[in-house]
Amino acid sequence: MNKKPIFEIIADRLRQTEFKDDDIITLGKDFSLPNDEEGLKYIDGAKDGIGVYHMGAAEITQKDIEEINTVITFANTGDYDQADSVLEKLCERIRVVNFIDELQDCILDRKDEIEDKFYVYSLHLMTQSANIECVKVGMMIQELFTQSDEVKGMVRTLGLSDEFTLYSVFIMRNWENGNTEIMNIAKSVNGWGKVHAVHYIEPDTEEIRQWLLTDAVSNDVMPAYSGWDCYKKSDVEAILKKDGLTYEELEGVLSIVDAMLDEGPVLGISNVENPKEILLEVLNHSIKHLPLSSENCEVISDISDWQKENLVDENCEIELLVNQILEAGRR
């Protein structure tokens, strides 16, 4: 059973990796947190991701609320061992993602009695706990406070793990230039953490909008999870109204549209009010850049397949454009 603090496991990985000045800081594709659970093994962040996207809200009982308040009481008096004991048992029953609101409501209801020791307890959980869920509790307590530069560094470090990116994003939203921070952490992860970061980021700078267009939709889970978010936030519809696109812009549009066509996990293209018009615009822009790469030709084929199953094309407009693109060969 893992007894080493989770934070130290992540920090050790960073210390073992050499980065150049312009490198994106990452834990590496082969990194994963210790997993003591028996049976099916989940990749980091998967349980929370599945819960957020596919499961209904968990029922939080009065007993759960009482235990949350017990943790607060022990932590507020500096009895961290007792607080940890109660919290670990609570987290065995319920994942933190399911009781964030209740946790924070209990704290806010008691804000007049909160001592500095309680704030320190959140740092204790973040840096000393060997329990993944307890680390998340520390982070969600921190969301209610202002972070020093040192604590911000801790938040960034934890966020490099897909298991904690969501919780780092929640905290970063309150920072100055928070959306740029979220984009930077999203560049460092490529699993569920990136999916969550793309979902919560606000495109308040041109740099973020460009990143959402060209680099945000790809991930190691399923691009479909981020297709609709990238479509809206990069404003693909406005981009398609331009007279001409760069090849980089076209590739970004095609990757987003392809993700939206795959509606296995979440809705994508079905959210678009006028999908035929959008697809025709995509195809017309594609024709201006012939021949396309093999990967982009696959997207064109996917558009054709989706249209045949889901959209009436009375004048064969989509079919004609698709054929013209594919007959031009590949780069």
To 10 degrees, what angle do helices 206-214 and 178-188 make?
30
User: Could you read off the pLDDT of 285-303 as tens digits, one per residue?
Assistant: 999 999 999 999 999 999 9
pLDDT at 19: 76
| Per-residue pLDDT at 24 exceeds 70 | yes
Which of 31-35, 37-41, 49-53, 203-207 bottoms out in mean pLDDT, i.e. has the lowest?
37-41
Q: In terms of pLDDT, which residue wins out, 202 or 312?
A: 202
**Can you tell me the mean pLDDT for 144-154?**
97
Exposed/middle/buried for 178, CB within 10 Å: 0-12, 13-18, 19+? middle
| pLDDT band, residue 203 (cuts 50/70/90) | very high
Backbone angles phi, psi at 65, to 5 degrees: -60, -40
| Per-residue pLDDT at 1 exceeds 60 | no
pLDDT at 21: 65
**Can you tell me the mean pLDDT for 43-70?**
94
Flag whether the pTM goes above 0.85. yes
Which of 35-39, 165-169, 307-311 bottoms out in mean pLDDT, i.e. has the lowest?
35-39
User: Could you read off the pLDDT of 88-132 as tens digits, one per residue?
Assistant: 999 999 999 999 999 999 999 999 999 999 999 999 999 999 999
pLDDT at 107: 98
Return the percentage of the chain with pLDDT > 70, whole number: 98
Domain boundaries, the chain: 1-202, 203-331
Give the per-residue SS3 of the chain: CCCCCHHHHHHHHHHCCCCCCCCCCCCCCCCCCCCCCCCCCCCCCHHHHHHHHHCCCCCCCHHHHHHHHHHHHHHHCCCHHHHHHHHHHHHHHCCHHHCHHHHHHHHHHCHHHCCHHHHHHHHHHHHHCCCHHHHHHHHHHHCCCCCCHHHHHHHHHHHCCCCCHHHHHHHHCCCCCHHHHHHHHHHHCCCHHHHHHHHHCCCCCHHHHHHHHHCCCCCCCCCHHHHHHHHHHCCHHHHHCCCCCCHHHHHHHHHHHHHHHCCCCCCCHHHCCCHHHHHHHHHHHHHCCCCECHHHHHHHHHHHHHHHHHCCCCCCHHHHHHHHHHHCCEC
